[in-house]
A and B are shown apart, each in its own frame.
Chain A
Amino acid sequence: MNSFLILEWVIKGFVWVLVLIGGFAYLTLYERKALARIQSRIGPNRAGPWGILQPIADALKLIFKEELTPAKADKLLFLLAPVITVVPAVVITAVVPWGPNLTILGHTLTLYIADINVGVLYIMSVASIAVYGIVLSGWSSNNKYATLGGMRSSAQMISYEISLGLSFVSAILLAGSMRMIDIVQAQKTIWFGVLQPVGMGIFLIATLAEVNRAPFDMPEAEQELTAGYHTEYSGMKFALLFMAEYVKMISICAIAATLFLGGYQGPFVDRYPLLGLVYIFIKIVVLLFGMIWVRATLPRIRYDRLMEFGWKVLLPLSLAVIFITATGIILAQQVAPALLWIIPVASLLVAGFAVAMIDRSLRRKDYARR
């Protein structure tokens, strides 16, 4: 390992952090614009042409705002909690490959920051750390609403993390590896999202709960908890919590694109490697639009139903999906490769059964209507 290689890593990491923070700034604008269009509005259009300077204006406002610390708050943890929330959100994407290797001036440049052979486990573990920051910010605020928000957040994240982890497993089984690069390579012919649509669905639903987005934004439910864990935060500390949420959105969309939508794979990537960056960017933008779209459409789900959905529907469904995936792979290897198509068919059937069961349980409690 020479010093040039270390320098390259430092530069790549720095550039990537800058990209994520810039992406966060413009994701807020993207979300506000998309939500506005869905609600027949225009959205921010005053700061610069089409409002493109709006994130800068917001950042300046938040930096110059007064920072309040509650009198009986745990000062150290109150200060540290936003940092603890931001760091996992930023480092989680270190293992995601952004494109195939580039060759510049005879030097091979890899478009990922770290190549860990258990990359998926790395993502799982870092994603779990993120909840510490939220619980600590809720607890250190010395505010009952904030504490409740933090508690809800931890309960919700632990519940949905299991389904999230199990939905990773189907991608791992299909690729036969935990390295993110291998997973992307394995999707050269067919995306795992096509082979295992239910696994992708579980992943997307669980990630919505994981990043506390609507309709699973119970930890920050305005009506019940004022603003949840960031009630007492203001100024730049609030901006950090906000940033963590949006950076997590980008990260989770990048991971979903890598695991299920072929990552940087697409037509002509072999000939022009830089196209890989374009493809993964498009995939992330489309997935982010999906998150915004769901937020604009669905109302917040009740807390007991959220828990029931996580434990009684998603968890058994993801176990069934793993079983079907494993069976399909064995059948394809032992009997005939065409039997791989058992996986999507059988898992869609199981998902349909799950939908019917949810519908039944929701209807059975409704005595008044009949």
Chain B
Amino acid sequence: MRVVEPIVELARGLWTTLHMMVEKPVTVQYPEVKKPVKPRFRGRHALKRYDNGLEKCIGCSLCAAACPADAIFVESSENTDEKRYSPGERYASTYEINMLRCIFCGFCEDACPTEAIVLEDNYELTFTDRRQAIYPKAMLIDPVPEGGQPTPQKTEPGVFTRSVPEMKDPQD
């Protein structure tokens, strides 16, 4: 005959839920409070620039080739010393990412030979129709850094001949 034990078990269950009421809620009040993302978080893409303002992207289309969702479209054009956008021969005259197709896998980041495309922290992507989901180069590219000049730049001949810079192994 077990009389007390079942009642104690029932009471313990009820006590557990009642006890949780005094616990601090775990809710994050999202639009007001934003939790910082993790270091390797993959959010919206950004196209990077060098310190002198030249674009890192050389229009090689390796990101488009690596993209499993076929979300990236790149069209490249020739650089000249009069109108130079990036080091080397070519630059991306059109760079579009379809955010409805992108799965944020980060393969484009891995494929990029110049570390031009980086998936950054922004996860608040909103658009109201399918056209707006295609992010053009103007939206993706970073602003010109301090001390740099906007592209296209007029450069000395024979300086920016190398498309891919000298690079170290990736840190993170």
Distance A259 CA – B103 CA, assembled complex (angstroms): 61
- The answer to whether the Cβ of A352 comes within 8 Å of any Cβ in the partner chain is yes
Query: A297 near B13 (CB under 8 angstroms)?
Result: yes
Question: Please, what's the 1-or-0 string for B1-29, where 1 marks a CB less than 8 Å from any CB in chain A?
Answer: 11101110000011011101101111101
Query: B17 near A297 (CB under 8 angstroms)?
Result: yes
Distance A37 CA – B2 CA, assembled complex (angstroms): 33
A350 to chain B, nearest CB (A): 11
Query: B18 near A293 (CB under 8 angstroms)?
Result: yes
Query: A355 near B25 (CB under 8 angstroms)?
Result: no
B17 to chain A, nearest CB (A): 4
A359: B residues at CB distance < 8 A: 2-3, 5-6
Which of the residues A34, A42, A353, A358 comes within 8 Å of B6, measured between beta carbons?
A358
Query: B18 near A41 (CB under 8 angstroms)?
Result: no
Query: A293 near B17 (CB under 8 angstroms)?
Result: yes
Residue of B nearest to A292 (CB): B17
Query: B25 near A356 (CB under 8 angstroms)?
Result: no
Query: B27 near A356 (CB under 8 angstroms)?
Result: no
B1: A residues at CB distance < 8 A: 356, 360
Interface residues on chain B, size class: 10 to 19
Query: B20 near A42 (CB under 8 angstroms)?
Result: no
A105: B residues at CB distance < 8 A: none
Which of the residues B2, B5, B27 comes within 8 Å of A42, measured between beta carbons?
B27
B25: A residues at CB distance < 8 A: 36-37, 40-42
A305 to chain B, nearest CB (A): 14
Residue of A nearest to B28 (CB): A42
Question: Please, what's the 1-or-0 string for B25-66, where 1 marks a CB less than 8 Å from any CB in chain A?
Answer: 111010000000000000000000000000000000000000
Which of the residues B3, B21, B29 comes within 8 Å of A38, measured between beta carbons?
B21
Query: B13 near A298 (CB under 8 angstroms)?
Result: yes
B11 to chain A, nearest CB (A): 10
Residue of B nearest to A299 (CB): B13
Q: Most chain-B Cβ atoms within 10 A of its Cβ — which of A293, A294, A355?
A: A355
B16: A residues at CB distance < 8 A: 297
Query: A38 near B27 (CB under 8 angstroms)?
Result: no
Distance A77 CA – B101 CA, assembled complex (angstroms): 48
B23 to chain A, nearest CB (A): 6
A292 to chain B, nearest CB (A): 10
Q: Can you offer 5 A-B residue contacts whose CB atoms are under 8 A? A: A38-B18, A41-B27, A352-B3, A356-B3, A359-B2
| 13 extra A-B contacts, CB within 8 A, seeds A40-B23, A40-B25, A297-B17 | A36-B25, A38-B17, A39-B20, A40-B20, A40-B24, A40-B27, A42-B27, A297-B14, A352-B3, A355-B3, A355-B6, A356-B6, A359-B2
